[in-house]
Structure 1
Amino acid sequence: MNTHVTAPSFAQSVWLVTERELGAKLRSKSFLISTAILFAIALGGILWAGFMAGGDNRTPIAVTPDTAAVVSGNDAFDVTDAASADEARELVRDGDVDAAIVPGGAEPLGYTVVFADDSSTTLLQQLSISPEVEILDPDTTDGFLRYIVALLFGVVFFAAALTFGSTISTSVVEEKQTRVVELLISAIPVRALLAGKVIGNTILAMGQIIGIAAIATVGLTVSGQDLLIAGLGGPIAWFAVFFLFGFVLLASLFAAAGAMVSRQEDIGSTITPLTYLVMAPYLLVVFFNDNPVVLTIMSYVPFSAPVGMPVRIFVGEALWWEPLLALAIMLASCVAAILIGAKIYENSLLRMGARVRLREALQR
């Protein structure tokens, strides 16, 4: 009796490879441990920043009944009332306060600031009288907060894209080196193998992104930063969307880069240009997060849009239609990268020995 084995369809082949990629990672202790460490670092950093921001940063200072008016209404100081100048000096000497304001001194001030061993320029500046300031075009976001948010988006994109992108390249080379790939493509189409690898690692990368977003929400809630949660909701959602398509774009190219070599020792040279592309958005937001021109350009370049556009949305610099236009450009670039990556992957996968030149991989 003859038995006929039906070959799996393209969709079934893609799912088989996807399951294989997911299973291999989820069974890997190193992956699980590194993910747990990443989540712990994210939670710890958010809690630390939140508690530092919410802590009491006022300068402790002692005053007497005659000098209390000097710091009246000044939120920079944690004021301790002393009955006399001698008591105020004793508080300084004991280290209970950083300084004391006591009667006496040259006019027109009529008071003296007492320190224990060395004067503080910062404290003296806090005591100085400044004119009222009017800013015609104020920033909508605090500069430090802008920097932190931009840095977080840059770090998450850089770490996730490089980690999983390198994993794809390494997996492809390993399969070529052990000849496993020859068995795989005898059962499933080459493009199904590529699609499964990309989809599997995209699911894992998005899982980490969603996990970090959830941890960030918990951390911000615990540290009492509810207003920041409301402001970050939209940017985080757009970051996830841009990251999804941006990672698919990069994953296709990382897989193609891995297919061009046959040894693990040679993979570094092929993925170096891609590493620079992943690193560039991180470096740009570190140095140019307050430059509207640079951020605008970043938000339309496919490799940096996952970082540039969410930052612009957070600070209120992006018009409503700009994320949609940037996403359309990202989708078109994603399709082009998939087609190019698939061609290189198909033409290079079974070629052993010397590294396949890019021109040869594209011509065949």
Structure 2
Amino acid sequence: MSTATTRATARGPQRPAPGELQSVWLVAEREIGSKLRSKSFVISSAVLLLLALAAVIWGGFAANSAGDDRIPVAVTSSTEGDVRDVPGLEVTVADSADDATALVRDGSVEAALVPDAAGGAFSYKVVADDSAPTDVLQLLQQTPNVELLDPAGAIDGALRYLVAFGFGIVFFMAATTFGATISQSVVEEKQTRVVEILISAIPVRALLAGKVVGNTVLAMGQIVGLVAIAIIGLAVTGQSELLSGLGSPLVWFAVFFFFGFVLLAALFAAAGAMVSRQEDIGATTTPLMLLVMAPYFLVIFFNDNPVVLTVMSYVPFSAPVGMPLRLYLGEAQWFEPIISLAILIATCLGAIWVGARIYQNAILRMGARVKLSEAMKG
């Protein structure tokens, strides 16, 4: 028996190298474990979930408090008798049906009871601005006809802003937090030369894929937690109308967020591979940060602009915010989210290819920042 054979026997049988899928999962487990052991990550995640819960509870409390006040309505001399004995209404008598309708238009009252020229079972009808005044109808013993002055504006402006802010801030915070974490992790591994040890055992593409998968699992865990809190909180606080409108958009938001985050994660990892020091990371990640910030500010300032929202819903970097908001507002056709998702998935695959190429070509290069053209050429 040779000396080499004797040494191999003494060490015992060698383990076979892990397969590519196994390598991806090993790296993903490492990423997930390191984050879950980080006190800052656990605390920040808990604070985010608590803030979401507090926002839902506050919204329900505000809605219930508003329901305790008397509801302002306008009537005419001929319909005043129909609400004279109804508690909970603050009645304003207008000179005519047109005057009562004008009070609805300018927001002075929530609804108006005016004579119904069409006749029927009731001598009056309820006129409202953009949605049926359920709180008024519940106080009436019978339900008359309802006429809407502006059916297209069915979503209240404040509610529109809050929903837009919610989608925008969740995507912004998750993408920036985990994206920055990925790029910083890549640079740290380059600085400490740990990456040289890692890629001697597993393929470079498996290392990149594991980082993307691990951080995507963590980000989606936060999104699922936020969606669950929103659904349960809205149901418990009695905000059934808002819950029914948000159900489908929340599901679409989770789907769009998944592919949007994978797209950004691959690019953030590539951006980290192009530098060798933490001090230089801002030079490569700033363009990506701007891409993440743009949807947030656009949806805040232009949530009432259908043209801007339509464009946002088809641009891959803003589709995770723009399309769910349009679905909530009822401005998107049934086929539009499917087309938008197909565009996002195609862009995501392209970003993964570009990110993998940059990562493979730049991950072992130390010293000065690697230029994008050099990283693409190899």
For 1:26, the equivalent position in structure 2 comes to 36
For 2:21, the equivalent position in structure 1 comes to 11
How many Å apart are 1:166 and its aligned residue? Answer: 0.4
How many Å apart are 1:221 and its aligned residue? Answer: 1.8
TM-score when normalising by structure 2: 0.77
How many Å apart are 1:173 and its aligned residue? Answer: 0.5
**1:288-346: CA deviation from partner (whole Å, max 9, x where unpaired):** 11111111111111100000000111111111111110111011000000000001101
How many Å apart are 1:226 and its aligned residue? Answer: 1.6
CA distance in 1, matches of 2:285, 2:202: 26
Structure 2 residue 229 is matched with structure 1 residue 215 = yes
Distance 1:10 1:291, change over 3 A: same
Q: Give the letter for the 1:40 counterpart.
A: L
DSSP-derived class of the 2:173 partner? helix
Cα contact 1:76–1:126 (8 A) shared by 2 = no
Structure 2 residue 256 is matched with structure 1 residue 265 = no
Cα contact 1:298–1:305 (8 A) shared by 2 = yes
Q: Give the letter for the 1:37 counterpart.
A: V
Please point out which of 154, 158, 162 is paired with 1:144. Answer: 158
Distance 1:60 1:197, change over 3 A: closer
Please point out which of 294, 310, 313 is paired with 1:296. Answer: 310
CA distance in 2, matches of 1:236, 1:9: 37
CA distance in 2, matches of 1:311, 1:53: 21
Please point out which of 157, 162, 169 is paired with 2:183. Answer: 169
For 2:121, the equivalent position in structure 1 comes to none
Q: Give the letter for the 2:277 counterpart.
A: R
DSSP-derived class of the 1:23 partner? helix
Cα contact 1:140–1:316 (8 A) shared by 2 = no
Alignment of 1:47-86 (within 5 A): 47-56=57-66, 58=69
CA distance in 1, matches of 2:246, 2:283: 38
Structure 2 residue 208 is matched with structure 1 residue 190 = no
Cα contact 1:220–1:226 (8 A) shared by 2 = yes
How many Å apart are 1:140 and its aligned residue? Answer: 2.8
Q: Give the letter for the 1:277 counterpart.
A: L
Alignment root-mean-square deviation, CA: 2.7
For 1:305, the equivalent position in structure 2 comes to 319
Structure 2 residue 329 is matched with structure 1 residue 319 = no
DSSP-derived class of the 1:290 partner? coil
CA distance in 1, matches of 2:41, 2:311: 35
How many Å apart are 1:256 and its aligned residue? Answer: 0.3
For 2:54, the equivalent position in structure 1 comes to 44
Cα contact 1:182–1:350 (8 A) shared by 2 = yes
Distance 1:130 1:245, change over 3 A: same
CA distance in 1, matches of 2:195, 2:333: 47
Note the residue ranges of structure 1 that are not aligned, 5 or more in a row.
62-68, 80-100, 102-107, 109-124
Note the residue ranges of structure 2 that are not aligned, 5 or more in a row.
1-5, 73-79, 96-107, 115-126, 130-147
Distance 1:38 1:73, change over 3 A: farther
CA distance in 2, matches of 1:174, 1:208: 25
CA distance in 2, matches of 1:264, 1:301: 31
Distance 1:179 1:295, change over 3 A: same
Greater relative contact order, per chain length (Cα 8 Å cut-off, separation 6+) = 1
Please point out which of 248, 252, 260 is paired with 1:234. Answer: 248
Structure 2 residue 268 is matched with structure 1 residue 246 = no
Distance 1:180 1:75, change over 3 A: farther
CA distance in 1, matches of 2:229, 2:66: 25
CA distance in 2, matches of 1:173, 1:214: 35
DSSP-derived class of the 1:38 partner? helix
Distance 1:76 1:355, change over 3 A: farther
Structure 2 residue 297 is matched with structure 1 residue 287 = no
CA distance in 1, matches of 2:343, 2:29: 30
